[in-house]
Amino acid sequence: MSQFFIKTTKVGLLALLPLFLISNYRVDVSLGNPKVLDGKYTLNSRGVENTVLKGKIVFETSVKETNSGIPFSTLVLKLENDGEAYQHTMEFLISKQDSPNGIDVGRYTVARDIEGFMDSFDGIFGHANFQALGELPFFTKQGTITISGLHDSFLQGFLDIAMYDPEGREITISGNFMAKRL
């Protein structure tokens, strides 16, 4: 009986050995394109200017309370062209009331009427400057920003935003982005 036990133990250990070897195997995964790690976007613009907007994007998050104790979570997306691309800068502020744990994955809509201070509203507010279109800034009119993935240091999503300037010129911007935490 002891011979049987020893042979069974040997066969069992030999059968488990490949499992241990495979479970300790380490796969080296490439971190991918360095531009993605820096945060990037590619957006199409239609309207007063039809072009492709590319550049770097970063984001910041915070949770604040109003004087009456209502928590507001905010997420700020900062976009800026890189290199020789079409010269522009944009910034979008997403604010959500009664969200003490921060902005989460989901779809956010441009706020219609913002009353009071800029950090205490529900929705999106944004502004943009396009060097080729003059000094007047463009402001959000309607649209959405969808956050499809949110991690500690990265955020990914899609935006489709219509903007206008004080002269009534409109531009619609849409496309994907992968933002890095500032």
Interval 19-44: pLDDT, tens: 666 655 444 434 444 444 679 999 99
For residues 92 and 77, is the Cβ–Cβ distance under 8 A? Answer: yes
What pLDDT sits at residue 99? 79
Question: From CA 120, how far away is CA 118, in angstroms rounded?
Answer: 6
Q: Where are the domains of the chain?
A: 32-181
* Mean pLDDT of the 10-24 span: 66
* Number of Cβ atoms within 10 Å of the Cβ of 106: 13
Question: From CA 151, how far away is CA 159, in angstroms rounded?
Answer: 18
- The candidate with the shortest Cα–Cα distance to 90, out of 125, 52, 64, 119, is 125
**E strands, the chain, in order:** 40-47, 51-65, 71-81, 88-97, 106-109, 123-130, 138-150, 154-164, 170-181
What pLDDT sits at residue 33? 47
pTM: 0.76
